[in-house]
Structure formats: structure tokens, C-alpha cells
Amino acid sequence: MPDLSPSSPAEAYAALLEGNARFVSGDRLHPNQDADRRSELAPRQHPFAVLFGCSDSRLAAEIIFDRGLGDLFVVRTAGHVAGAEVLGSVEYGVQVLGAPLVVVLGHDSCGAVTAAAETVHGGGTAPAGYLGDVVERVIPSVLAARALGGTGVDEFVDEHIRRSVDGLVGRSALLAAEVAAGRCAVVGLSYRLAGGTVKRVAAHGLPE
């Protein structure tokens, strides 16, 4: 069976937007979710996008983009904070699996961003334990957004998405090289929890 997955950054991005439109309208196709697809993928995988998103339970990538088995290589952390494990996973998806697109997926009313904003506004310390480490990694995005005049959580979310996109490309020489060569693109999307839609916030390697 020929591989009909998107093979370019633009095709992969278009496929995700089309799937999200189906999800929002309720006309989902539920592609690649049957037994034949499961058997086909058993020997190998070739996802067309790496999805690095927030761990929020309402951000199930295959559902909100109406995709199926083998389509998305998903990496998720609270507040989509990126450490070495995330960078390595993203590089694996691009270099080894050949995905032409990396998506950073944030969302409105993000709990991690809200906690970071409350910490900054209150002049206090981040929560105890490893949760505090997550919040501390988001605080620079809140400070950057405030410096630009941002006052609301969703403005902080968008800035955090932008900084996450820039951070992936800036910290990973492999990813930067793939983007420069036109083989891969990195795009930041913000998901609306109530409406189910996504909006583009930032991108490297994709035309406007």
C-alpha cells in the first residue's frame, strides 16, 4: 500500500488544519483507526508531524486534529516546558522518523501559565517540588509578555508558545538545520478549549 501521508511541511500543516476543521464541525473521518492500519504499522512508523504539547487532558492531539494511528509522534509535558528529554524526542521524530513538521501546541487558560503569572504578580515563590520547576520555566514567558504590554493569561500563553517554538529551533542544531534546508518546519498553535479551534502564533519555515 503506498504511503499517502503528507511529505512536506506545508502539506503536513494543511492536513492538521483540515483535521481540526472536521473536529470543530463534527464531521470527523476518524482516519487510520482500524485493524488494517494497526497491522500496517506494526513493522514501522512514519508520522507526518511531531506534536509537542501541554499535558492538559483536553488536548488529545489525535482527537482535535482528527488523525489516527501512526500519524502523530506526540510529546507532552505540563505547560509544554522543554528539557533534554523533550528535545531528544523531537529530534528523534524529525531525524529518525522523518516527520516534516513540528507543532508546539498550547491552549487558553493554561494552568501552568496561570500559576507562573500568579507567582510573578504576587511576588512569591513557585510551588514546592517538581511542580515548582515547571512553573519556574514558564515565568520568563510571563515576564517577556508583560514587558510587551501583555496583561492577561492568554497573552502570556501566546508568548510562551512563541518562546517554545524559538527555543526548540535555537537549542537544537539538528532541528535548525532541517528548518534551514526546508525539510522541516516548526509552528506554534494555540488551542481554544471551548471552541476547539487552533490559531497560529509563531512559525519557522512556513510561509504566512
Residue 65 lies in a domain: yes
pLDDT band at 121 (very low <50, low <70, confident <90, very high): confident
**Domain assignment of residue 139, given as a range:** 9-204
For residue 91, what is the domain's CATH number?
3.40.1050.10
pLDDT band at 39 (very low <50, low <70, confident <90, very high): very high
Residue 2 lies in a domain: no
pLDDT band at 4 (very low <50, low <70, confident <90, very high): low
Residue 17 lies in a domain: yes
Residue 31 confidence (pLDDT): 94
* Average pLDDT value for residue range 13-17: 98
Residue 4 lies in a domain: no
Residue 7 confidence (pLDDT): 87
- 77 pLDDT above the threshold of 70: yes
Residue 153 lies in a domain: yes
Contact 143, 120 (CB under 8 A): yes
pTM of the model: 0.94
Residue 69 lies in a domain: yes
Total domains in the chain come to: 1
